[in-house]
Amino acid sequence: MNFFTPDLYVRLNSADDVVVDKAAKEWSNANEAYIKHLDQLFVKLPPNVKAVAFFDQFHDAKILSQRYVASSRVYWRSEHEDPMPMVEHFEIVAKNADSLLFLTYVLQPRNKERRPVLQHIRHEREGSVAFPFLVGETYWLYDEMTINPEWAEWYRAVLDFENKVQPQLEHRILLSDGAELVIDFMDVFFTVLPLKVVCENFDEVYG
Amino acid sequence: MNPNQTSDTGQTSRETNTQDPVTSPPPPQYYSAQRDQISGGVIAVAPISRADAVRLRKAGIDIVVCGIYEGENRRLAKEIESEANDTPIHCYEHRKTNQSRALPHFHPIRRHPKGHCFYETNTLKVVQKP
C-alpha cells in the first residue's frame, strides 16, 4: 500500500492518544493525496475499472472467497499474431452491509522478468499477526488503484503496444488479517448484487 | 503571568480575562445514526443518552458522537465501543472523492455485533437528514 499503509493503520489504533492524533492527520493527508491521485487517473481508466476505483462501499466488506482461475482462453491477440500466454483470472466475492460484490480480474500475462501478477504479502510483526489485524474472518479494509508504470514500460519495450492495449493496472487491497493483495490486471468485471435480490433475510440464512 | 504584564497582543492578562469571559463549549452529543447511501456519510437521527448509546451499540445499531473537538469525540466513541463490545478497532475514513462524507469509526475487531460508533472530526461532520 502506498497511501493507506499497514503501519499507519496500526498507529491509528495505538493506545497512545498523541500517536493517534498524529496518525489521524497523516491519514487525512494520505486520503487527500489519494483523491488527487484518483482524479488524475480518471480520464485514463476504462469505465469498468473506474467503477471499482471509485466504489466507496468496499470498506469492512466480508471476504467470502478468493479464487485463482487459470484459463487457456485467448483474451486478446497481438497484431503480430504471436500466440499470447495463458490468461489467468482472480476472483473475489465479498459482502458488505446490503450487497454481494463480485470482482473478476483478468490478470496480466506472466513474464519471468516481471514480478508475479498476483501477490499475497503478509504484514506481520515479530512472526505473528499483531493488533489491530486479526486472523479469522477476513474483511476488506482499504484499497488503492493505480496504473503500474513498470508494466507500461514493459509493453512499450517488448511488445510495442503503446496505445493499443488496456492500461496496465494495479489494485492493492489491505485485508483485516494483515495481508495485502497486489493484483496486476488488464481488465476487471465488477457486479454489485443487492442482498434482497438473493434472499430477503440473507444474513439469517447464510450467516 | 503577572496580572499587569503585557502580553504579545498588547493586552494585560487582567484585560484579557475581563474581555474574554470563559465560555465552555457545548459537550459532545450522542445520536442514533444511519448511513447515507448517496454521500457515504452519516445521518444523525435522534439524540440519545450515553447509556442508550452503549445499549444501541450492543444491539449492533450505528451511533455517532457529534462535537466540536475531534480528539474528545474520538475518546468518547472509543469508550462507548469498549463498554458495549469487545476490543474496538479504529478505522479512519476511506474517501475516494471530495464529495464523500464518510466518518471515522470504531467497531468490534470481530465485527460482531454489527454497526459502527462514528464520530465527527474537525472537518467531517454528519450530513443533514434528507
Least reliable range by pLDDT among A84-93, A167-176, B8-17, B87-96: B8-17
Give dist(CA A180, CA A187) in Å, integer: 20
Enumerate the residues of chain A whose CB falls inside 8 A of the CB of residue B93: 31
Give the CA count within 13 Å in the CB-facing half-sphere of A153: 5
Give dist(CA B4, CA B12) in Å, integer: 5
In a domain, residue B130? The reply is no
Residue B114's closest chain A neighbor by CA? A97
Enumerate the residues of chain A whose CB falls inside 8 A of the CB of residue B35: 97
In a domain, residue B99? The reply is yes
In a domain, residue B18? The reply is no
Phi, psi of B74 (to 5 degrees): -65, -45
Sequence-separated (6 or more) residues with CB below 8 Å from residue A150: A114, A115
Provide the 8-state DSSP code for B108: E
Q: Residues A180-207: pLDDT tens digits? A: 999 988 889 999 999 888 777 777 666 6
Give dist(CA A169, CA A151) in Å, integer: 8
Enumerate the residues of chain B whose CB falls inside 8 A of the CB of residue A196: none
Enumerate the residues of chain B whose CB falls inside 8 A of the CB of residue A137: 110-111
Which among B85, B96, B98, B114 is the top mutation candidate for probing chain A, defined by the most A β-carbons within 10 Å of its own β-carbon? B96
Q: Measured on CA atoms in the order A180, A97, A189, A87, is the torsion positive or negative?
A: positive
Give dist(CA A116, CA B94) in Å, integer: 27
> Domain containing B53: what range?
28-119
In a domain, residue B68? The reply is yes
The parts of chain A modelled with pLDDT lower than 70 are 71-86, 110-114, 124-129, 149-167, 204-207
| Closest CB to B96 among A21, A54, A60 | A54
Q: Do B91 and A57 touch (CB under 8 A)?
A: no
| Closest CB to A59 among B87, B94, B110 | B94
Identify the band that residue B21 occupies on the pLDDT scale cut at 50, 70 and 90: low
Contact B37, B97 (CB under 8 A): no
Q: Do B92 and A24 touch (CB under 8 A)?
A: yes
Q: Residues A165-180: pLDDT tens digits? A: 555 789 999 999 989 9
Q: Do B100 and A21 touch (CB under 8 A)?
A: no
CA distance A136 to chain B (A): 9
Residue A139's closest chain B neighbor by CA? B111
A31 touching chain B per CB within 8 A: yes
User: pTM of this prediction?
Assistant: 0.82
Is residue B68 predicted with pLDDT exceeding 80?
yes
